[in-house]
C-alpha cells in the first residue's frame, strides 16, 4: 500500500523545477524557498514584472511558513534577483533580472494546463 504524499509536500517537489530560476540563482535557494520564488515569479509574469501580495498569501500559495517566505525574499534581494519593499504588510516585489521573467514566460507557454490565473487565487479556492 502506497502512502499518499500531502499536497504541500508535492508543491515543494514541483516548486524548484517550475520556478524557472536562473542557474546562478537556483543554487542559493532551498526547495521550500524555490517554491516561494515560483509563486512570486508567476505573479510577476502575470503582472508585468510586479508581485504585490501579502506575505501570508505568498507563504500559503507556496505551502511554506511565513518565515520561510521571508527568508526566500531576503535571499533573492541579497543576490540581486529582485527588489523588495514592504508596504503595510504587503510586499512590493519587482524583478531586477529580465532573463528570469523571460524564462518564466517561456515556462508558462510550455505548460499546457496553466490557465493565466494566479497561483494565489487557486490557493484561495481550496
**Contact 120/53 with Cβ under 8 angstroms?**
yes
For residue 120, pLDDT over 90 is answered with no
pLDDT at 79: 92
pLDDT tens digits for range 12-53: 545 444 557 887 888 889 989 999 998 998 888 888 888 888
Dihedral Cα 81, 86, 89, 92, nearest 10 deg: -50
pLDDT in tens, 77-100: 999 999 999 887 788 888 888 888
Q: What pLDDT shows up at residue 16?
A: 46
pLDDT at 75 over 70: yes
pLDDT of residue 105: 76
CATH number 1.20.1260.10 given to 7-108: no
What is the pTM (predicted TM-score) of this model? Answer: 0.71
What pLDDT score was predicted for residue 64?
93
Amino acid at each position: 500500500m502506497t502512502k499518499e504524499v500531502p499536497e504541500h509536500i508535492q508543491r515543494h517537489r514541483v516548486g524548484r523545477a517550475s520556478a524557472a530560476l536562473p542557474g546562478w540563482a537556483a543554487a542559493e535557494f532551498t526547495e521550500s524557498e524555490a517554491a516561494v520564488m515560483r509563486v512570486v515569479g508567476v505573479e510577476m509574469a502575470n503582472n508585468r514584472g510586479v508581485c504585490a501580495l501579502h506575505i501570508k498569501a505568498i507563504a500559503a500559495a507556496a505551502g511554506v511558513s511565513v518565515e520561510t517566505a521571508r527568508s526566500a525574499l531576503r535571499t533573492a534581494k541579497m543576490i540581486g534577483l529582485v527588489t523588495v519593499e514592504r508596504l503595510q504588510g504587503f510586499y512590493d516585489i519587482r524583478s531586477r533580472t529580465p532573463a528570469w521573467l523571460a524564462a518564466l514566460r517561456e515556462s508558462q507557454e510550455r505548460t499546457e494546463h496553466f490557465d493565466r490565473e494566479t497561483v494565489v487565487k487557486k490557493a484561495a479556492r481550496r
